Structure 1
């Protein structure tokens, strides 16, 4: 096994790869929240002394001060009362998760269970000896997960590295596979006599009418047709069946997304939007997206590129513009065809076992994960029955939306294995009964249906985890982003064609051709397992 310092040196490279992505809550009031009743649908733990295990988790800054913090709150207490092991949770900031985990690994203080959504990162830990294979432990100690894995063979290729199982995961529900979405002001379409766009050209035409047609009716030319959240640029690439860091099959060979002809076409499309004032002229400097969301919530924007689930933006808009009708838009077709917007891979959280774990702790961890997958996840997703929700024909219906947001929302960080999979028609039943919650629930159901209607183009399930590729992408991405910004916002300074030539030139200069050769050798060796 390599030393911790060698592990961190290599893993940091992987953590710099582009992946789709808050401060810790304070400790006030951590004993004030009562634990949910043990009868909240999770079963009971085995008797006798429990082993303590530690588990990493993402700190998204969502725990209200009166609830405690991520380490100590009503749900951590509930878990420790009901699970077959006690858990010490180790929060890491969401946007710095891999960097923080690398530091913990290097110092020998990483938690027993380490998880991420990024398979390349976990595979890199496996290659460096920071985590251990677990085939024998699943076979020896698991009942629920072992059966679940047999029922979901689609997980296997994601969980193995060099033929050995290094990860445990559950299958995402459709609401978790769906990721990005496009929203549009239906009332603006209606007012201007427009139909919902179905092609990239029609989308431009609608945006132009939103800019010049005074859709908000105030007699001023002050509307912004299109605004972004952090996914906006990716959505515009997806429309052209590309992604900045994915590999695509061109014949029987893999090519990098940012070097494809159609990637240049996606840049040209965004440049046209910018040059015509169809997107906010300050979108590049709006790093927190507060400006974009302010335009949207105050009724000054007509198309929002973001997530398929934009509840807060819906609520904020309705408060300011009660007559607004915000609805999801199906991805539009480009000259290259039609694809879904970005969709996540089937596995959800990828849970790995620290290589320093001894067998007694491994046994406790496997049994804990069995419990979590079987029943433990339910209260952590739904809350306590008759307190946070009531059962309506098998669908958990929220009783009080504000209470649920305060007391349950943050608990979604704890069920690292789960069988939660809501259907679109659940949403109106699950939502609170007030008018805005019900209106959004119907739109949310439609948004999920549209998000899953078209399969997202992903020619291979995941990229190889090789340090040469990670190093190249980490070096190339910032350069590529600068070139792309110059193309989109630089006016006549750089055309999309020239920008694509510059991207390819930099890719080649940094060793892209050699990495492409390595990636294609990997693909030819593994392509039967990648189907």
Structure 2
């Protein structure tokens, strides 16, 4: 279902102009705002439209207030800052929209705490604000201070934006209540955290090995990496696979795919899955977990895992690989851009290649990325939803090969590209200040995504297809390892398993979730390390259910029935 977005882009671009022309006379969903039917008395009516000049700018200009964290991942050119930068100037010059940051903080935690404080003390909220935390999103909706945008969305959202969400309807679950829309779910790439295997190809070649296609072959490769001195230093100091177990099996590089290899229904730890009766069940208590835990314990005893995997976080796992002491890591395709290239600094002769996940007795089932991780809310007193939707549609132009888009080449000339003889060049060495991602200056904190479009381009580029469209040329300019990794993942998307519970934490999760999560993580890690016997998994399940897990399951299914 999610992949439809990639298939309809061309059709949307062609249809947008036709629909815009026809809507002036048909009064349908795509009708011009002035011809739309008024909102019903029980629904929130969209604010009055702002005057737009013949140039497409709002005249007089409209102001949109917002707020954000300015963390280390947001970089500005010298002389620019949050309130004065190339994107702020673009919105003002192109659209007649003045984006005003009424406050900023240094971290994401501090940002969310400030939103919580505003809700608790009835302090003013920005016109537009982002919430990543699902529990806080629930509080925002229930506070009555977020606008019901249902009518505004129908009236002002562009056809391509509506199509994007029509292709991904479950995204609305994260911002809906009683069938009404209280925000815009910000879509992810569709598979940004789905794992593939990254392997030291030079180690494979040195030991005359082929890339593994099954779990059994993976074990043979790991055994060789541990016991046949692949780094040639005459020491037994290498491990098979880098992963982190510190937070249980709940990170980008946790090896969760191993559980899926032994579960015919694709049951994974930490994920809620639908059973044959249409009810959601928590994967971590499913009997299939025992086979995965037994396999990880076997790998630990054979030295395939590095010794402190149970205490290490994901950055420590990256470091083990990048120091040249581990030959395999399973993680997202974008790791070919960061952080894996650091291995070349430490081991210049190293070669890395991406490969599909290996099959197990029950096939391949891997964790799939959540479609929504953040949401955009609107102050109930905000008066310019028409201006917001015009702005948001403009930012979508990056993905649509839109000839008229200011983002057809990238986010800002001189930041992520330069023009030479009318052609965009993406070489960082030709950028006056190096690569700067001006897309992070957008109201959404990152450029909006159209799920799966990026991966499909990587797949085409990997087959040797010439980069012809604006988007193809942009992505072809990315680091080759990232493009190659994206292509590998694009051919394996049908193996992704998605968490079926995407709602806010339930009442019992709030009161007992931390305790239950600690119980689970400690039990799993102790079984892997051999400090508990495998059969203690059954004791864990009984304890989990009796300590609040059964109540959580009931609450999760109440939510699931309400959104099905």
TM-score range, shorter chain: 0.7 to 0.9
Structure 1 residue 313: Cα displacement: 3.3
Q: Does 1:246 align with 2:271?
A: yes
SS of 2:535's partner is: helix
Q: Structure 2 residue aligned with 1:63, among 57, 75, 84? A: 75
Aligned to 2:231: 216
Kept in 2, the 8 Å contact 1:200–1:334? The answer is yes
- Stretches of structure 2 that go unaligned for 5 or more consecutive residues are 1-54, 245-250, 399-403, 462-466
Q: Structure 2 residue aligned with 1:444, among 470, 485, 498? A: 485
TM-score by length of 1: 0.76
Aligned to 1:50: 62
Structure 1 residue 55: Cα displacement: 4.2
Aligned residues: 471
Greater displacement, 156-165 / 413-422: 413-422
Aligned to 1:494: 532
SS of 2:362's partner is: coil
Over 3 Å counting, the alpha-carbon distance change for 1:219 and 1:95 in structure 2 is farther
Partner Cα distance (2:519, 2:88) in 1: 43
Show the 5 A alignment for 1:60-459.
60-63=72-75, 66=78, 68-89=80-101, 90-91=104-105, 93-94=107-108, 98-107=112-121, 108-117=123-132, 121-140=136-155, 142-144=156-158, 148-150=161-163, 152-159=165-172, 160-169=176-185, 171-173=187-189, 177-228=192-243, 230-233=251-254, 235-236=256-257, 237-240=259-262, 241-252=266-277, 253-287=279-313, 289-290=315-316, 292-310=317-335, 311-345=337-371, 347=372, 349-354=374-379, 357-374=380-397, 379=407, 382-385=410-413, 388-389=416-417, 397-400=425-428, 403=431, 406-409=434-437, 411-412=439-440, 414=442, 416=444, 418=448, 421-422=453-454, 423-424=457-458, 425=461, 429-430=473-474, 439-440=480-481, 442-450=483-491, 452-458=492-498
Partner Cα distance (1:377, 1:483) in 2: 53
Structure 1 residue 267: Cα displacement: 2.3
Partner Cα distance (1:283, 1:64) in 2: 37
Aligned to 2:39: none
What do residues 197-227 of structure 1 show as CA deviations (whole Å, max 9, x unaligned)?
2222322221111000111122221212211
Kept in 1, the 8 Å contact 2:192–2:333? The answer is no
- Superposition CA RMSD, Å: 3.7
SS of 1:335's partner is: coil
Kept in 2, the 8 Å contact 1:132–1:353? The answer is yes
Greater displacement, 195-204 / 66-75: 66-75
Kept in 2, the 8 Å contact 1:58–1:97? The answer is no
Q: Does 1:519 align with 2:556?
A: yes
- Stretches of structure 1 that go unaligned for 5 or more consecutive residues are 1-42
Partner Cα distance (1:444, 1:401) in 2: 23
Partner Cα distance (2:553, 2:408) in 1: 43
Kept in 1, the 8 Å contact 2:272–2:501? The answer is no
Q: Does 1:478 align with 2:518?
A: yes
SS of 1:193's partner is: coil
Kept in 2, the 8 Å contact 1:222–1:300? The answer is yes
Partner Cα distance (1:275, 1:96) in 2: 42
SS of 2:130's partner is: strand
SS of 1:317's partner is: helix
Over 3 Å counting, the alpha-carbon distance change for 1:478 and 1:404 in structure 2 is farther
SS of 1:318's partner is: helix
Structure 1 residue 238: Cα displacement: 5.0
Structure 1 residue 172: Cα displacement: 4.2
Partner Cα distance (2:538, 2:240) in 1: 30
Higher helix share: 1
Over 3 Å counting, the alpha-carbon distance change for 1:395 and 1:463 in structure 2 is farther
Kept in 2, the 8 Å contact 1:199–1:333? The answer is yes
Structure 1 residue 135: Cα displacement: 0.9
Kept in 1, the 8 Å contact 2:77–2:433? The answer is no
Over 3 Å counting, the alpha-carbon distance change for 1:47 and 1:238 in structure 2 is farther
